Amino acid sequence: MDRRSNHLSLILALLLSVSSSSAQSFLGVNYGEVADNLPSPDATARLLKTTTISKVRLYGVDANFIRAMAGTKISLVIGASNGDIPSLATDPAAASRWLSANVLAFPDTPISIISVGNEVLELGDASLASQLLPAMQNLHNAAVAAGGAAAGIKISTVNTMAVLSQSDPPSSGAFHPDLNSNLQQIVAFLQKTSSPFMINPYPYFAYQSDPRPETLAFCLFQPNAGRLDAVSKITYMNMFDAQLDAVKSALGHLGFPNTDIVVAETGWPYRGDSSEAGANLENAKAYTNNLISHLKSQVGTPLMPGKSVDTYLFALYDEDLKPGPTSERSFGLFHPDLTPTYDAGLTSGSTSVAPSTAPPQSGNSSNIPTSNMWCVPKDGVDDAQLQVDLDYACAQQGVDCGPIQPGGACYDPNTVRSHATYAMNQLYQVAGRNSWNCDFSKTAILTSENPSYASCVYPGGQ
């Protein structure tokens, strides 16, 4: 193979590596703020950049958070509150002011959707429901008039599965008759503006109403006998697809079969009260991992094949001030200290989300503090992956990568492997010197051989 072919092969390999570790275009997360212990917006932005999450949904507008997301290439869904709806509906100038303050003021942060209100149609407030569409229309008109990136923002509203009167089997999906009038007009607006219908399907709640083992397997994407829709002759293998196709059927029965659907919320609590069946860490991990794998497969649903519906996981963090049962405060994928609640398969490339500060729960006796050891990359790990590990390690608190900068004692040899070795070991030493602190998603290993050389001293020892 000639030098040009070698060069092209290297470029292709690097592109494939970058592609495999990049954000998933269909995967988002909800950022709730009913809490008093949330990390700073800047810390959250740094965390999100280590994940495959490409979208974040806010329930309102948080200026500090929106600023922190500038430059991350993560798009936002922001919300106009239910209390904003009357003024937005009756005063086009109020819609323009809202857009100016909450969208145009942040030109460096991509905003993809404005959700007007939250679960308005299910509140039973006829007056507010009647103002929902005019508020959406006025915001849309203001965005178009503003031009630029604002003109491309979609305007929608979020609904729960309670808007459906029928969802089983999926082919029978239908909206509540008393909502049909409002929905007919709202969905017509969504289709005209190429905006999505936003829905919150929760297989967890379906299991709560039918806590049988076979239902749990169906809800968790685990092996099961499936459920036949006798009308469509489709056998559904998981509740998520069944719920989405019920919504798809309902939109079709309303006269809008081509309206796009976005999953605004879905998740599974990792703990709950004794009366909350299935709310535990094992099920939460199974649901999230299997859902993400299902989305990554791009298989879609039986009625929406070949494309993953944009899906926002609930939620990035627990919201400790939420009222209600324990489960309401237990959906967080990450703790406030930025460590993962469980391995949700969200980290990009070969990074770890954050240094572990507690031992795994597997009972593996090898997970004990290690002294006189150093953390180094495994043989065979390519430079593209090592660069990801290097960047991640140097970004962590307490890690000093000054020695591998130009002029530093460990700068030479100026190779990715040499620099990554220093940085990965630094992180291992400051994170606690436990075996799980030297993992980097299986790209590193502990050694008793001191990698120090010349004037380059690797921290280690007792």
Cα distances (Å, whole numbers) of residue 109 to 80, 117, 150, 262, 344:
17, 21, 11, 21, 26
Instruction: Give yes or no: 265 in active site.
Output: yes
Longest dimension (CA), the chain: 79
Cα–Cα distance, 187 to 192 (Å, whole number): 8
Say if residue 81 is exposed, middle or buried (CB neighbours under 10 Å; 0-12, 13-18, 19+). Answer: middle
Cα–Cα distance, 215 to 212 (Å, whole number): 5
Q: 228: Cβ–Cβ under 8 A, 6 or more apart, which residues?
A: 169, 234, 235, 236
Which listed residue (33, 122, 265, 328) is catalytic?
Answer: 265
Residues 13/341, Cβ–Cβ less than 8 Å: no
Q: For residue 284, which of 203, 358, 360 has the smallest C-alpha distance? A: 203
Residues 160/119, Cβ–Cβ less than 8 Å: yes
Which segments of 14-110 are extended strands (E)? 27-31, 55-58, 75-80
Instruction: Give yes or no: 122 in active site.
Output: no
Radius of gyration of the chain (CA): 25
DSSP class of residue 359?
Answer: -
Which listed residue (33, 119, 122, 328) is catalytic?
Answer: 119
Say if residue 379 is exposed, middle or buried (CB neighbours under 10 Å; 0-12, 13-18, 19+). Answer: exposed
Q: 39: Cβ–Cβ under 8 A, 6 or more apart, which residues?
A: 47, 317, 336, 337, 338
Q: Residue-wise over 84-105: b if at least 16 C-beta within 10 A, else e?
A: bbebbbeebebbbebbeebbbe
Residues 28/311, Cβ–Cβ less than 8 Å: yes
Q: For residue 76, which of 21, 149, 22 has the smallest C-alpha distance? A: 149
**Helix or strand or coil: residue 340?**
strand
Helix (H) or strand (E) segment spanning residue 130: helix 126-146
Q: 127: Cβ–Cβ under 8 A, 6 or more apart, which residues?
A: none
Cα–Cα distance, 184 to 287 (Å, whole number): 33
Q: Which residues are catalytic?
A: 119, 265
